Structure 1
Amino acid sequence: MPTRAQFDRLFPERIAFYSYEGFVAALAATPGLAASGSAQLRRQEMAAFLAQIAHESDQLRAVREYERANWDHYCRRDPGESCAPGKQYYGRGPIQLSWNYQYLAAGRALGIDLWADPDRVAGDATVAWQTALWYWMTQIGPGRMTAHEAMLRGEGFGETTRSINGALECDKPGDAAIQRKLERRIGFYRQAAELFGAPPGERLAC
């Protein structure tokens, strides 16, 4: 776990919602992050997690997705799926949890109804942190494994990016805007790994 000083150094402009205390409380309630493998691997996984949320939440300055024009675009209506009347499932929290089915699954895992009350992720800091940890530990997303598994298996930081936003950012070497996003993620990871005294390893890009 990072110390308060390390957390402050990584997120010097974070908003009050994302407190160090809230992060610690969520870790206690949702164990598993950076808790397996060698000491170096644990430092690398913590660095990877904090780097990814730094990118996703604009260095812990965004509770809600900035692009309001997209707020009503996250309702998937596959068989057995629906959206609560009047609710929107845009990105919220440290990892920008998105889509109705993700809010439903996260809420079930945490024992709360986030499908009916998605804005709780933007109003309860512990819940916000818990959704990020839940996604990291249990969700494959558009990738091939969870971000947690990617670090444990030595697949590298790039594979965690694939699990979080691979459909939009991976396998697009000719897209300069996408490459800038990937470099931003990698830059955050290098910074965090250096702060924790861990080599970043290989396979940084997805």
Structure 2
Amino acid sequence: MEGIKLSLLAAVFVAMMLLSPLAVVNGDSDDTGSVKPVVKIVKGKKLCSKGWECKTLSEYCCNQTISDYFQAYQFETLFSKRNSPVAHAAGFWDYHSFITAAADYQPHGFGTSGGKLTGMKEVAAFLGHVGSKTSCGYGVATGGPLAWGLCYNKELSPSQSYCDDSFKYDYPCTPSVSYHGRGALPIYWNYNYGKTGQALKVDLLNHPEYIENNATLAFQAAIWRWMTPDKKHQPSAHDVFVGNWKPTKNDTLAKRVPGFGTTMNVLYGEDVCGKGDDDEHMNNMISHYQYYLDQMGVGREEAGPHEVLGCGQQAAFNPSSASPASTSSTS
């Protein structure tokens, strides 16, 4: 009887393990838990799918996915103070939300372009922007100012509602709704909430608060912005970082080169770039990127020289007052 009981217990244990949410469902895993790609050759091109994190057939899914080289403990290291009692968004941001959001964009190359090193550098670059924009670590903050990324998920004391009536036909403002900064790369203004909501198929124009209530959505909005050009014939931050973008003659004249510096140009333009090499906001983003490279085990020496890291000498892609060398990224 004792033997039968032990056999039954063993059978129940095996069944529980098979039903565990940690079990690999899509594809086989190796000894490290990584999911091996399912490979297909389509029109002579190697395409892969790879579990829930990269389930669409894509050439990028043949590479390592983000969770293969960037794991939960590293996320905790990068954002070690985000759940401190004094953090304004304590309990909001988490690793699972980031990976879930990234899963929509990895088949398009986010963190999966050009092999492991490029992938790790892109994740560090993206999070460098995020950490800088959501930090509350200033001066002599405990743990150092670079440890306080993801402290915020919204602007706490907005000075205005950020409603631009010139967009009232395409993105009309909802009465009594404020379009102040929210998210991992904070969104401002009704037209930006409208465009982002259309892309993500979420009604952010009427409900911008969704961004501050859902960490996965907040990361999705930020990654969408990273992956999406602001205008036709211009690159995305992703493109200029991973080498998809080839500078034109006008870009060269404007001192725009592939690398982290030009991601700032794409995302913020003249608000950050073209102000010289001592601009505080620019250097804060650079410091976060370098710090994250170190924490991820890549090393800041992989970030490149200052002319690649910064945009202090670059002309903006879309200046408010156009100049001959900076009106376009096309020759």
Write out aligned runs for 1:1-206 (5 A): 1=66, 2-14=70-82, 15-31=90-106, 32=108, 33-58=110-135, 59-69=149-159, 71-75=160-164, 77-78=166-167, 80-81=169-170, 82-140=172-230, 144-153=234-243, 155-173=258-276, 179-196=279-296, 197=298, 199-202=302-305, 203-206=308-311
91 and 76 in structure 1: CA distance in 2 versus 1, 3 angstrom threshold? farther
Offset of residue 79 of structure 1:
6.8
Offset of residue 145 of structure 1:
2.2
7 and 116 in structure 1: CA distance in 2 versus 1, 3 angstrom threshold? same
104 and 146 in structure 1: CA distance in 2 versus 1, 3 angstrom threshold? same
108 and 73 in structure 1: CA distance in 2 versus 1, 3 angstrom threshold? closer
Offset of residue 38 of structure 1:
2.9
In structure 2, what residue type is equivalent to 1:75? D
| Number of corresponding residues | 201
RMSD, matched Cα: 2.1
3-state SS of 2:103 partner: helix
Identity rate, percent: 29
| CA distance in structure 2 between the partners assigned to 1:182 and 1:5 by the alignment | 28
In structure 1, what residue type is equivalent to 2:224? W
**Residue in 1 that maps onto 2:35:** none
Offset of residue 29 of structure 1:
3.4
| CA distance in structure 1 between the partners assigned to 2:162 and 2:187 by the alignment | 13
Q: TM-score, normalised to structure 2's length?
A: 0.57
Conservation of the 8 A alpha-carbon contact between 2:163 and 2:173 = no
| CA distance in structure 1 between the partners assigned to 2:271 and 2:190 by the alignment | 19
Offset of residue 75 of structure 1:
2.6
Q: Structure 2 stretches of 5 or more lacking a match?
A: 1-65, 83-89, 136-148, 244-256, 312-331
Offset of residue 112 of structure 1:
1.2
Offset of residue 122 of structure 1:
0.6
| CA distance in structure 1 between the partners assigned to 2:163 and 2:156 by the alignment | 14
Conservation of the 8 A alpha-carbon contact between 1:114 and 1:120 = yes
Q: Deviations over 1:58-112 (max 9, x none)?
A: 110111124421x413535247332122212111011001221111111111111
Q: Deviations over 1:26-76 (max 9, x none)?
A: 11234342111132211111110010000111110111124421x413535
- Structure whose residues are more often strand by fraction: 2
76 and 187 in structure 1: CA distance in 2 versus 1, 3 angstrom threshold? farther
| CA distance in structure 2 between the partners assigned to 1:195 and 1:19 by the alignment | 17
55 and 149 in structure 1: CA distance in 2 versus 1, 3 angstrom threshold? same
3-state SS of 2:166 partner: coil
Offset of residue 118 of structure 1:
0.6
Q: TM-score, normalised to structure 1's length?
A: 0.89
Q: Greater Rg, structure 1 or structure 2?
A: 2
Instruction: Identify which range, 150-159 or 72-81, moves more after superposition.
Output: 72-81
3-state SS of 1:29 partner: coil
| CA distance in structure 1 between the partners assigned to 2:117 and 2:230 by the alignment | 24
In structure 1, what residue type is equivalent to 2:206? A
**Residue in 1 that maps onto 2:247:** none
| CA distance in structure 2 between the partners assigned to 1:37 and 1:157 by the alignment | 16
Work out which structure has the larger RCO, using CA pairs closer than 8 Å and 6 or more positions apart in sequence: 1
